[in-house]
């Protein structure tokens, strides 16, 4: 028996794959490599290059392997870009999820852990977000993730699909120097690339209603995130109850300005960031409680901000 990890060649998905293997659980990976890297997939892990929009490919995967459940990480994950590319975002995140669920139903696979997002909350009017905080996404990306949750819910009613959705926040760090975030839109890669190229890193907006004017977020370590995906899968495998959604949050916020200061300290490269305009779709503050996930999914913050930055910087340097 194995778990299928969609997007398992990507930054988050590859850490999930390693977390499964650390628990002695087999994995299979499907990834179209639009943002992932084949070298992120261990050589002895079955790998299928292709999109989950391809129902025939998924049928083949389910036919060739005994799959007990799916961790669905694949998707188009850029909130700001989704404002300019709404149709692409919906195709990758909504249509593809529907195709995946149909293939699972056909194959009799009835368990899924879904990679959702804090973007479903938009700009919440509470100090700390909980799972019951009203959803008000402000980008096609956030909307597409909320629709994904609805698809799982409705399929659960219709077919008995066992499911949970993990809403997470800004994922950073590295659990293995061979794995790094290569997104052209995420903060850490942008900052590191600028430093390596001798440029000054940039902050997108310093006029938000926050203490230092920069966006405040939960920053969580990717390896901690991966552990909770496996914990959710194990609960589903064991027939144990799970909540429909969990926030994987720290309960504390860190501003982009604080991140910049920590990067300068950890790397030893002194700089004063440039300030540009806000990005469309970026809320001022999102900080969440992770209490439910701590109760059920072995969720905890095992890394300090310095360790998050340090591990990400080590992985970036290893790739140079």
Q: Cite the active site residues.
A: 141
Nearest to 46 by CA among 81, 79, 80, 21: 21
d(CA 217, CA 212): 13
Residue labelled with tokens 């290893």: 318
Residue labelled with tokens 């399929």: 155
Angle, helix 96-107 to helix 55-64, in steps of 10 degrees? 30
Q: Which long-range contacts (CB under 8 A, 24 or more apart) does 90-96 make?
A: 90/140, 90/144, 90/147, 91/53, 92/53, 92/144, 93/141, 93/144, 93/145, 93/147, 93/148, 94/144, 94/147, 94/148, 94/151, 95/53, 96/51, 96/52, 96/53
Helices (H), the chain: 11-22, 55-64, 79-84, 86-90, 96-107, 140-159, 187-196, 222-237, 256-267, 291-296, 305-318
């Amino acid at each position: 028996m194995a778990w299928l990890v969609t997007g398992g060649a990507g930054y988050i998905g590859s850490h999930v794959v390693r977390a499964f293997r650390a628990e002695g659980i087999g994995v299979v990976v499907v990834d179209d490599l639009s943002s992932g890297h084949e070298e992120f997939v261990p050589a002895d892990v079955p790998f299928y290059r292709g999109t989950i929009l391809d129902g025939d490919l998924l049928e083949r995967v389910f036919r060739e392997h005994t799959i007990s459940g799916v961790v669905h990480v694949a998707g188009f994950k850029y909130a700001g870009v989704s404002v300019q590319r709404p149709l692409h975002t919906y195709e990758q995140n909504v249509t593809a999820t529907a195709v995946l669920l149909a293939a699972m139903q056909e194959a009799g696979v009835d368990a899924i852990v879904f990679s959702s997002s804090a973007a479903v909350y938009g700009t919440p009017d509470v100090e700390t977000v909980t799972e019951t905080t009203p959803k008000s996404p402000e980008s096609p990306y956030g909307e597409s993730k909320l629709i994904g949750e609805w698809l799982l819910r409705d399929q659960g009613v219709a077919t008995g699909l066992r499911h949970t959705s993990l809403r997470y926040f800004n994922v950073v760090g590295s659990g293995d120097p061979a794995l790094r975030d290569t997104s052209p839109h995420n903060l850490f890669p942008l900052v590191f690339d600028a430093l390596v190229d001798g440029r000054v890193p940039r902050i997108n907006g310093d006029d938000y209603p926050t203490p230092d004017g920069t966006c405040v977020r939960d920053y969580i370590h990717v390896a901690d995130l991966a552990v909770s995906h496996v914990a959710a899968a194990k609960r589903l495998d064991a027939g144990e109850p799970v909540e429909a959604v969990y926030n994987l949050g720290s309960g504390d916020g860190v501003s982009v300005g604080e991140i910049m200061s920590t990067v300068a300290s950890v790397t030893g490269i002194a700089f004063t960031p440039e300030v540009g305009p806000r990005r469309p779709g970026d809320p001022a503050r999102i900080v969440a409680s992770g209490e439910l996930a701590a109760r059920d999914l072995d969720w905890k913050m095992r890394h300090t901000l310095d360790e998050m930055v340090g591990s990400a910087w080590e992985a970036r340097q290893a790739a140079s």
